[in-house]
Each structure stands twice: as C-alpha cells, then as structure tokens.
Structure 1
Amino acid sequence: MKRIILLFLFLSTTFIARSQSYIGFLSDNYSGVHAVISNPAQIVGTPYKLDINLIGASALLGNDYYGVNVFDALKDDYDINLEANKYPLVDNRAGANVDVLGPAVMFNLNRNSSMALFTRGRSFGNVNNISGSTIEAIADSSTNDFSISEDDINGLGNGWLEFGVTYAHIILNKNQHVLKGGLTLKYLKGAGSAYAVGENVTLDYDSEGTDLGGGETTGSISSTGFLNYARFAEFDNENYNYDLPSGADGFGSDLGFVYEWRPNYLNIDLDIDSPKNKQSSYKLKIGLTVTDIGYVDYKNGIRQGFNITKENVSEEDFDNAEDLGSFLEANYTLTNSSRGYKIDLPTALHLNIDWMLKSKLFLNLNTDYSLMSKDRRTANFISNIVSLTPRYETKSFSFYLPLSVIDNSGFRMGAGIRTGPFYIGSGSIISALTSSNNKEADIYAGFKIGVFDKDKSDKDGDGIIDKEDDCPNVAGPVENNGCPWGDKDGDAVLDNVDACPDEFGPEENNGCPWEDTDGDGVPDKDDKCKFDVGTVANMGCPEAEVTEAVQKELNDYARVILFNFGNAEIKAESTQTLLEIVKILNEYPSAKFTIEGHTDSIGSYEVNQNVSDERAKAVKAFLVDNGVDSSRLTAIGYGERKPIATNMYKAGRAKNRRVEINLVK
C-alpha cells in the first residue's frame, strides 16, 4: 500500500490551528481594518478615516513529532526520519494553516462610529489521539510492513470563505474613560471539508500478502474497528474540477468590547501622532472578544459509518478505487448513511491588554482561549496561547517582538515590522532560526493603504473640527462643544464637576459650601454640637463659664509655683503643678487669662519689677510649650505694687511673693 496515502489519511488533518494570525501586527494601533480579526470594537477611534487592505496572508507549518534545525532541513540530502529529533506521544499533531484577508475596507461614519467590509479565506484542520507509534510504524524505512492500533482517533479538515460587515461605536466617552463596542456579522461559504472518526481501529499491512498469480504479489490490509467518514458531496467525484461546494454555507459573528483609560484626557484623537495625543491617548487599553460564533452547513454532505473488520483486503482494490468513499463501500460493511452535516467554527475568547510605557513604546499582553471542546468531532478549535509583545510604534513604522507560549507547542519568539503600506512578520521566526529542535514556523505579509484624517481643520487640536467647535481657538472637551470648562464661583472646581457652580465651595464637597445648621461658623462635618451655637475652639459646642471656684483653683495652683532665689527659673518640683494648670485652661479654649507676677518689698523697686516680669513670662512660656494657645495669655509683672499682706513681717512677705492667673472679663 502506498505509504504516502496512509500517512495522508492519518496526518493531513492533524493540525490544531494557531489562535492568532498576524501575531504582533494585530496589536498595532495602525493595523486598521485588520482589527476585525481580533476585536471588531477596535476599528473605531483609529488614526485612519479610511483604511483599505489589498491582500494579506498568514501561513503556518507545524508539528509536535519532529524537531528540526531549519537550515539543515533545507539541504537537498536531508532525511527527516534519520536526522530529526522525534517526540512520540499518544496524540501527536502536524499540519498547516492559512488565513487570507482579501480586499477589505474600513471607514468612519462619524466621530463615534465606524464600519468595515471585508473578505477572508481560512483553512485549517485538527485531529486528536494519533499516537506516535502510528507515525513511527508508517515512517519506518527498514520494512514495508507495518501495524497500527488506535483506540479513539478523530480528525477534521475544513476551509471556508467569509464575507463580513463590522460596526463599531464609542459607547462611553467621559473624561478619563472610553468604552467601545463592536459587532461583526459574517456570511460563510464552505470551501470543502472532511472528517473521520475511528473507534478501536487496528490495521496490519503486509506488503506481499496478496497473491496475484504468475509470481506477482501485492499488499494486503487486515483491519478491525469502526470508521465514520464524512465529506462534501463533490469530493468523491473522480472527474470533479474544483469549485465551491453546492449547498454549503452558514453564518458567523464576532462580538468585542474595548476599554481605554486616558489619565490625561482631552478627547479621542484620530491622529495618534498629533501634539494633542500627549494628553488624550490611552495609558491602558483592555479588549475582550468572542470570535467565530457560528457554523458552515454542508447540506449536501455525505456521512457514512463502516465496520472495517475484515482480513486480507487487496491493496490493488485500494489503488484502483475511484476514491476513498467507494473503496470503503466496496470492501466494508456500511452501518449507517445520511446527508448533511455542520462544521462548527473555532469559537474562542480573547483578552488583550495594551500598556503605553512611554510615547511610541508599548507592551501588549494577549491571551486566546478555545471555547470549543476538543472532543467535539465536527468542530474546528484553536490552541490556547499567551503572548507578550513589546512594540515600538509610529505613524510610518512599527516593530514587534512577540514572545508566546502555545498549548502543547511551548515557547516561541518572533518579530515583525510595518513600514508604510507593507507589513511582514512571524510569531516564531527567531525561534525557528536559532533552535536545533524547531517544530513550527509561520509567516505573514501584506499590503494596505491607509488614509489619515488630515483634511478636517482643528486649529485648537482638541479633536473637534472647527465647524463643529464652539471655541475653535481654545481646546476643550466634546461634552462642552469644544470649549474649556469655566469656574463661575471661582472655587477652583470646574463647572462640569461642580455640584454648586454658583456658590463657592471646596473640592472635597464637590464645589458646594459645607452646611452649618446652627450658624456658629463651624461646618456640620466638624461641629460636635451642630444644633447648638458654639465656638470654633470648642469644635462647635458652647463653652462652660470660668466660675469663681475655677478661678480660685487656678490661683491655688499658681501661688505654689516655686522659683530659684532671686531669678525667674522655675523649680523642677513645680512641673506637676503647672501641668494641672494646663488641663484647667484647656477646658475653656476661648477664655483669656493674665499671668501676673508679684514680689515683696525687699530690694530695690526696679529689681522687684524686673523679677516679677520675668517670672510671669516664664510661666507663660511653660504653658504655651505644653499646648495652651499663646494668644489667650498675657504675662505682666507688678513687682511690689500689689501686696496682699503687710511686708513688715516674714509671713506677709511670703504671701506677697506669688503668681496669679486671672480670667480676662
């Protein structure tokens, strides 16, 4: 039996599609109409008023069985079976994927809405549970015979065309926050499909097992198990000149949202390179998308089930059969047959986070996650992927360096550029050229024409064209028709966020004055007695009066303050007495007091006056240092002028040497 045919049957559809075409390029703010591939919401608020893609293609070759050195593999005498590294698993995969974006156009409807029309062709397949031992058996060059055994094998190949229309709108544009939404609707035209599901399949091939007579032999095939085989109707026609299958169409959709955080906003700018961009461009952009919701319905497709348990089927019967379907029908037991089947699209969830590190330099994080189960026999599905892409971006040139980790394929490093109308790149080119154990290579390239929105005059650069700008010479936000916000009450809170634009008020109260219920000058937020008139010093509460008893208590303390002989230095043992005075004074925060110093008549008048002044000042300094407001205290010395007892006797003179603290009435 021809090995290449068996190898095709088992491996031609063994590729799980890469989740993201044009990797790196799709993160570019200048990717234009290509944004419909990753997130339909991205086409609004771009630098372009019109973007036309002429042609672009992304292709991938990969497997997880052979690991090769790319430069060695290009040599004429390279033998992949002998020289490549091999990694047999229970579910090895290999194949190719092509994604072509044909003629497509994106254009702005108005400042907040955009549309795109596009054509796209896609082809890939996927398979599960092809063991490495099967590949080894078929590829073994030491013998023409082989045996294989698979418990559960299923594979799908599918291609289709898309004719899509995308609408995107800015849902919210308020200060620092922008929210966009987008929807793509697609008409799908099936370009061909086939899938096979095998259960408990064994196959033994004997290259000389069938005797043709006259000394000639051919191979024989012995097999067991069950095989379900489906294909579009024209696939089995030997004389079929390829055309799009009849009765094969469907519908699909993509839904996406994008949030942008612009800490230094004016408004969305249609020209990313404009001076205004430094204030209005996003610092952080987050996109969430669900793509490829839908299916292609092959109404005329053929589905058949076979019991393939049979011994010694001649290879000549296989070679002479018009097609695989007629070979199966002629040699095995048909268990079921029906018309029509649907192939599900590779539905996936995508999260994209783009961070502007500084002007022209970005860091992009992208994750793609399959929402389609690998156990679904009639569905395409993607590989899960996480990509981190540093990006340098200007109006005329961009460079990307994507770093990716792909489910079951490992780490990949690529590079890409956009220069003028051309773009080219790869998600794995660096890995492919530097590794001696490479299992994957991809490339994309294309040509497009972008027309920037330069023909609308905007003298003040606020993103609002002059004919729609109420203040064309002064920059202002769109919410105020292009005029800067005013501040009528002069409280430094702009009118657009001032809850009381005609009354002076602090920013923390949204521009409104604080309420003062009792009118005592203490705002309710600070007034502990907001229904009773009080004082600022007593936090809005009324103060108690300084009674004669309080006055007496103060002076009882004051008269026992001790000083060193002949000067104003307070003795240490008086510290506690003075702290008690501080407590009393703080209970009456609005009351004012005089601190009076007195002496006896011993000594000269001038000396006594000076000593009394200094002692009064020393007491005041202590009280102020311990928390009493200095504006409430007056220090004065009376010397010997106000005795309270006779200076003729020692006891009287002791009473006259004193400090008094008296309420100012």
Structure 2
Amino acid sequence: MRKLISTVLLLLCIASVQSQSYLGFLTDNYSGVHGVINNPANIVDSRFKTDINLVGVSAFIGNDYYGVNFTDIFDENYEIEDEAREFPKDKNNLVGNIDVLGPAFMFNINEKNAIAVYSRARAFFNVNDINGETLEGIIDNLDDNINFDVNQGSAYASAHSWAEIGVSYARIIFNKEQHFLKGGLTLKYLQGLGTAYATGNNLSIDFDANTATGNGSVTTTGEVAYGYSDNLEDDLDQVEVVSGATGVGADLGFVYEWRPDYAEYTSTDSKGKTYMPKDVNKYKLKFGLSLTDIGAISYNGTQENYDFNRTITQNEFEDLDIDELERSYGTPILSDSERATLPTALHATVDWSINNRFYLNLNTDLSLTSKDKVNASRITNVVSLTPRFESKWFSFYSPISVIQHSGFQWGAGFRAGPLYVGSGSVLSLLISDETKAADVYVGFKVPVYQSRPKDKDGDGVLDKVDECPETAGPEENYGCPWPDTDGDTVLDKDDNCPDVAGEVDNNGCPWPDTDEDGLLDKDDNCPQTAGPKENNGCPWPDTDQDGVLDKDDNCPNVPGTVANNGCPEVTEEVQKTLNEYAKTILFDSGRSSIKAESNQVLTGILNILKEYSTAKFKVEGHTDSAGSAKLNQRLSDARANAVKNYLVENGIDQFRLSAIGYGEDRPIATNKTRAGRAQNRRVEINLVKE
C-alpha cells in the first residue's frame, strides 16, 4: 500500500502539464492557421494567402507542489521527491495538457471570407484540491509506523484524450473608416481516445500505529467514485480507439480593430471602389474575444464506487493493493454512457501596434469549467503580457505570464519562415531555482504570404486602382497622366478650353479680341470698343468735340479749328478788338508806369488772351517823334514790357508773350500835328503766327 500511494502521488506531482498551448506564438499576426486555436476570427484579413501547417507540438510542464532547479534535472542522480523544494497547501491543484496540431491549412477565399481545416490531437488531465500538506509526511510515516491523521476532504481528478477535425469559417462583418470587425466560427468533429475520472468526498485517514507489535489500526472515512471509458479497461498498451466515442464541439470569436490611420491604407479607383493592401497590419489597437471548446464526447464506460467508512488493522492496510482495494471497497456499476466535457474557456486579448514592427499584447485565458465538475477537463487561468517584434519572415516574442498555480513565468520564442520554436517559461527556468513549470513548442509550416501590391509605373498608385498601370500619373487622376488635348502645355484638368490651344496665363484659352481692333483683350484697356494700339486699344477722345482728337488737340478742353490744331483761332476781328483795347492803355507822362484808369482795359485784354490760351502774342511799344530817338526807343521798350509784366502777373503764361519797343520807327499817323502824334503814342498786342 505504501508503494501504491507514493507512486500515485509522485506521478501526479511531477507529470502535470500546464494547459495553455503555443504561449507567445499565438499573439503573432503571422501565426496563420494556428490563430483558430484561440479565436477562429483571426484567419480572415490575414497576412497569408494560405498557411499550411505540417506538424506542431506544444507541451507545458508545471505544478504548485514541487519547485525545482532546472539544471538539476539533468543530473542522473537527481531524485525529485527528495531534492525538489516542496510547497504543500491544503489544496494543491495539478493539470496537464499536450497539444499536437497536425496537417492543417487556412485560405483567404477573398477580401471578406476565409476558411481553415485542421487536425489536432489533445490530452488533458486535472487533479484539484489535493491536500499537499500531508503528502510530505505520509510515505515516511508509513515506513516509520508513526501516527498521522489525514483530513483530505473533497478531491477531483480527470484525464481525457481525444482527436479533432475542425472546419473554421471567418468573415469581415463591418469595415468602415477607422472601425473594423470580423467574426469566426469553428465546428469540429471529436473522436475520443479515452477518458477517466475520480472524485472523493469527506476523505480522511487516521493511522494509529502500534510500534511494538505492528498491530495498530487504520480508520478511513469518505466515498470515492471513479469511471473510465471501455477502451481503458485493459492495459494501456492495449488501448483501442472506439468508434462510438464521438462528439461535436465549437469555437466562436470576434476581433475588433481600431484603425485611426485608415486613410493612409485606402486607395480608391475611378468607380469609387476602395482597396486596402493585404500584406500590412492597419490597426493601432486590436481587441479579441472568443469562446473555445464548447462541447463534449460520449463514451461507453464503467463507474466504480468505494465506501471508505471503516476501520482495519495496520497490517491489513499495509498489505492492500489495487485488486484488494477493488474487492474490499469497490462496487462496479456499468454505465451506458460517460460524458467527457471539453475544457471550455474564454479568451480576451488587446494588441497595441507601437509601430509597424513592434507590438505589445495583453492576453488572458479564463476557464469556464468548474474544477469540481465530474469528468471535465479545464485550463488554468493565465494573464500574459507579450512584447514582440514582427515582420513577414521573422518574429520574436517574450511572454511574461502569471499562471494559476504556477505563478510567474517568463519565456521567449521566434518564428523564422517555416519554423516556429518557443517556450513560455524558458527564461524563468534559467533564473529561478524553484521553477514550478516548464514548457516548449516547436513546429513546421508552409507559409504563403500576401504579396505586396504592385506599382509597375512607380507613381505611388497601386496597380489595383491604377487605370494606367504602365504609365505614371498622379493619384487624383487614378494613376493616369493628365492629357493635354490641344497641346498648349496646359493640362486638360486646368484648361478652360481643352480643345483649343490657348495661353497658360488665360487658363489654356486663347486671348480674345472682342472689339476686333487687333489688340487682344488682355492688352486692351477698352476691350469692348475698338481703338488704336497706340492708345492701348481705346479710341482717341475729342473732349471739346471740335473734330480734333485730344492727342492732336493743343486745346483739348476748348473747341478750336483743325487749322489751329484744335485751338480757337484769333480772327482779325479779335485782333482788332485786342488792339483797340491796347491803344487805350494810359501811362504816366514820360514814364512806363500804367495809370490806374487803364485797369478795365487790361482786364478785357486778359479775357481775350485767356480765351485763346495757346496763342502767342507780341506786345509792341510805339512813341511819337518828339524827343530824341534813343530816348523814344527806351521808353517804348519799357512800356511794352510793363504791359507784358502786368499780363504775366495776372495769369498769362510768360512764354506766350514777348515784348519789344519800336520807338518812333512805326508811326501810324503824321507827327506834325497834335492829333497825329497822339495816335503814334500807343501799345499794340499782335498775334504771333508760327
């Protein structure tokens, strides 16, 4: 009996295997068909056209009772039950899992749909609520015949192995701007390979040893029941697969991606159809939620019950073996069916794209199967934080995890083309001397990646939306060069007259000549009225409307005659009037000063000169012959200039006037009479004809 107990307890402790698979690898966007393991939605909008798995094996070893130094295990003299550090509790929990992913493939049917088909073999066992505080002393106490008392209470154990063929379908549900949602479903056919379970209730052992005679007593309480499938009834090396042990299972999952930079990945063709490249990740944050392993397998099997409520002698207890135990305590019960429940679990993940190469993933796996459920497999709860480097042909990741029962684990793994290798605990194994878990996975696949979209002409517009893939052109014209139909160097998109050659400055249109005066409107100051080039396309004005254009009119604001260049012409009558005024100008005797009574006359002269503003006049001074000729010449000169100065001072341009004295040389009457001499003393203002 001692050997039986010690062997069972030792195997349960050292052979437990953690239930998570491919820890770290499943966070990779290039995990391919492996993505269906945790979430079937992963396969659509994948970085693969197709991914073919050849074989992959994942195994995790761990427990919460023994802690070991990893390097000591390779010592051939190492005895784990003697040298490992023990962590006994009133409820130690042990689980186990081996996951083999056989031939499998995934395929993206089109942009919105993908499928996967896979084969998989799995093995689980669970041992819950074992009172580990008693394990370290039971074997030694039995050997030494020492009294001890074990109060186990309730305990549960199960083991299950099965194969499955799964078919997964995933589809994009919603894809609008920065929001993207996809979902997936896996249905799987299950072939049972064998199941066994055991439950205990109110279990206790009271060992009252008699060291002198060896005739002590052992009192046990509680009930134990265990069952197993029919194919496990014989020895394990004779296990056969039974055709009746089948079932169905299902996985369901969704993935949401937040794509704030969606516009950078979106191209649109001329028909409004959008395209996103398939070879790159487009999200900043990705959220995944899935429910896996919904289902069970029905077996034909047997259940046996044991009633331990009795007292036997010390010798009888030590001599018990399995066969004796069955005869003394067991009651076989045949059962038509044993239902083995799958390890149903909830998975949630958040993936942060730091940039297009570095990512940070937070993942949790939660068991939805109660640990005290009979004949049910369950996973252990896990929370993992995994930084990773990711590219098409190579990824590296280092998961940092807290695993239920086994505590902190730190691992590393990589994917290099067809090879993937990793461990969720390799680094913690190397740095800790009391490791409670160890794991490893390895596999080979044939990845066929999504190709990078082509851009044959190198214009930055992908061929998928490029209407001229062989000729470079701008994105706004869907990859085609802008035409220049009329060949005027103004592209049709900017040409207001695309079919008629024109000028760049007039938006591709020829400049018009609206008034047809030979001067283009752009240079014509009067584009609606014909005019000569010399006047910038405007007709010459005739402001005074005297028939002489302003450009030729010396008096543009005063009507005149053509003969006098547009200025009014001084007629003989005007000239006569002018001189009649001039002759009446009075001077002080013998002097050149003008008398005040001549002001009215001078005003009349000023009005006439101003009326003929361009005419030039000569002011002439004359005297009689009285006195010397020299004196008369000087006096006539002075009086002519006195009149000129008066006229200039009162607004007449000095350049229109000249003054000259003729003395007594030009009499108009005889100097022999008083009346004649009076006529000769005069001033004349005469028109200067040019």
TM-score higher than 0.5: yes
2:296 alignment counterpart: 295
Once the two structures are superposed, what CA deviation does each residue of 1:127-181 show, in whole Å capped at 9, x if it has no partner? Answer: 2221113321344388265754311111111111111000011111212221111
How far apart in 2 are the matches of 1:268 and 1:295? 45
- Asked if 1:256 is matched to 2:256, the reply is no
Q: In terms of mean alpha carbon deviation, does 29-38 or 19-28 score higher?
A: 19-28
Contact 1:219–1:315 (Cα < 8 Å) also in 2: no
Aligned equivalents of 1:462, 1:86: Cα separation in 2:
68
Distance 1:476 1:432, change over 3 A: farther
Q: Deviations over 1:323-369 (max 9, x none)?
A: x5x65542225285533221111111111111110121000110111
What amino acid does structure 2 have at the position aligned with 1:288? L
My pick for the range that moved more, 356-365 or 327-336, is 327-336
AA paired with 1:69?
N
SS in structure 2 at match of 1:358: coil
Contact 1:304 1:338 in 2 (8 A): no
Give, as a single letter, the amino acid of the residue that structure 2 aligns with 1:400: Y
Q: Which residue number corresponds to residue 414 of structure 1?
A: 411
Judge which range, 282-291 or 91-100, deviates more: 91-100
Task: State the 1:405 CA deviation.
Answer: 1.1
Taking the aligned partners of 2:479 and 2:288, their CA distance within structure 1 comes to 31
Corresponding residue of 2:231? 234
Alignment gaps of 5+ in structure 2: 268-274, 481-690
Call closer, same or farther: CA 1:327–1:220 in 2, change over 3 Å.
Answer: farther
Pairs within 5 Å for 1:641-656 = none
**Partner residue, 1:55:** 55
Q: For each residue in 1:42-62, what CA deviation from the matched residue of structure 2 results, as whole angstroms up to 9, or x when unmatched?
A: 001112111110110111111
- The answer on whether the counterparts of 2:45 and 2:278 sit within 8 Å (CA) in structure 1 is no
Deviates further, 250-259 or 406-415: 406-415
CA distance in 1, matches of 2:474, 2:305: 70
What residue in structure 2 maps to residue 349 of structure 1?
346
> Offset of 1:234 from its aligned partner?
2.6
Equivalent pair of 1:16/1:124 in contact (CA under 8 Å)? no
Q: Structure 1 residues 287, 158: closer, same or farther in 2, change over 3 A?
A: same
Q: Which amino acid in the other structure matches residue 294 of structure 1?
A: G
User: Could you tell me whether the CA contact under 8 Å between 1:198 and 1:227 is conserved in 2?
Assistant: yes
Residues 456, 465 of structure 1: 8 Å contact kept: yes
The one-letter amino acid paired with 2:199 is V
Q: 2:170 aligns with which of 163, 168, 171?
A: 168
Query: Relative to structure 1, is the Cα distance of residues 204 and 189 closer, same or farther in structure 2, using a 3 angstrom cutoff?
Result: farther
Amino acid at match of 1:165: V
**8 Å Cα contact 2:95-2:380 kept in structure 1:** no
1:285-325: CA deviation from partner (whole Å, max 9, x where unpaired): 11111111111111x11123221334258579855xxxx5x
> In the TM superposition, what are the counterparts of 1:60-75 in structure 2 within 5 Å?
60-75=60-75
CA contact (8 A) 2:387 2:398 kept: yes
CA shift for structure 1 position 420:
1.6
| Aligned residue number for residue 493 of structure 1 | none
Distance 1:258-1:333 versus aligned 2 partners, 3 A rule: closer
Q: Which moved more, 1:454-463 or 1:107-116?
A: 454-463
The Cα offsets for residues 3-55 of structure 1, whole Å up to 9 and x where unpaired, read as: 25554268639988645311111011111000011110000111211111011
State the identity %. Answer: 47
**CA 379–458 in structure 1, closer or farther in 2 if over 3 Å, else same:** farther
Partner of 1:198: 200
After superposition, the Cα gap between the structure-2 partners of 1:373 and 1:244, relative to the gap in structure 1 and judged at 3 Å, is: same
Give the direction of change, closer, same or farther, for the CA distance of 1:426–1:132 in structure 2 (3 Å limit).
Answer: same
Cα RMSD after superposing both structures: 3.9
State the partner residue of 1:282.
Answer: 283
Q: For the structure 1 residues 6 and 368, does the alpha-carbon distance in structure 2 shift closer, same or farther, using more than 3 Å as the test?
A: same
Partner of 1:550: none
Cα distance in 1 for residues equivalent to 2:48 and 2:462: 15
Amino acid across the alignment from 1:68: V
Residue of 369, 374, 378 corresponding to 2:375: 378
Give the Cα separation in 2 of the matches to 1:289 and 1:462. Answer: 42
Task: Decide whether the 8 Å contact of 1:384 with 1:406 is kept in 2.
Answer: yes
The aligned residue for residue 109 of structure 1 is: 109
Q: Contact between 2:302 and 2:333, CA under 8 Å: does it hold in 1?
A: no
149, 152, 172: which is aligned to 2:151? 149
Name the structure 1 match of 2:447: 450
1:198 Cα deviation (Å)?
A: 1.2
1:220 CA displacement: 9.9
Aligned pairs for 1:584-599 (under 5 A) are none
Deviations, residues 488-507 of structure 1 (Å, cap 9, x unaligned): xxxxxxxxxxxxxxxxxxxx
Q: CA deviation at 1:386?
A: 0.9
- Opposite residue 109 of structure 2, the aligned amino acid is L
Decide which of 384, 388, 403 is 2:385's aligned counterpart. 388
Mark the runs of 5 or more structure 1 residues left unpaired by the alignment: 212-216, 485-665
1:61-120 CA-to-partner distances (Å, cap 9, x unmatched) read 111111111112321222334432211101113454211111111111112111100011
For 2:395, which of 391, 395, 398 is the aligned residue?
A: 398
- Quote the Cα distance in structure 2 between the aligned partners of 1:218 and 1:458: 92
Instruction: State the alpha-carbon separation in 1 of the partners of residues 354 and 40 from structure 2.
Output: 25
Q: Secondary structure at the match of 1:135?
A: helix
C-alpha distance in structure 2 between counterparts of 1:439 and 1:129, whole Å: 17
Given the two structures, how large is their TM-score scaled by the length of structure 1? 0.63
Instruction: Check conservation: 2:409, 2:428, Cα contact below 8 A.
Output: yes
Counterparts of residues 562-573 of structure 1 (less than 5 Å) = none
1:439-488: CA deviation from partner (whole Å, max 9, x where unpaired)? 111111111111123398665999999578767689999xx9x999xxxx
The change in CA–CA distance for 1:219 and 1:43 in structure 2 (over 3 A counts) is farther
Q: Distance in 2 between matches of 1:239 and 1:220?
A: 35
Alpha-carbon spacing, 1:399–1:333, altered in 2? closer, same or farther (3 Å) = closer
What corresponds to 1:177 in structure 2? 179
CA distance in 2, matches of 1:218, 1:34: 60
Q: Are positions 1:140 and 2:137 aligned together?
A: no
- Partners of 2:163 and 2:380 lie apart in 1 by 21
Match in the other structure for 2:583: none
> How many residue pairs end up in the alignment?
466
Partner Cα separation in structure 2 for residue 476 and residue 342 of structure 1: 66
Aligned to 1:127: 127
8 Å CA contact 1:15, 1:93 repeated in 2: no
Which has the higher Rg, Structure 1 or Structure 2?
2
Report the Cα distance in structure 2 between the residues aligned to 1:449 and 1:206, rounded to whole angstroms: 64
State TM-score, norm by structure 2: 0.61
What secondary structure, in the 3-state scheme, does the structure 2 residue paired with 1:424 have? strand
- Give the 3-state SS of the residue equivalent to 1:340 in structure 2: strand
Tell me which amino acid in the other structure corresponds to 2:284.
K
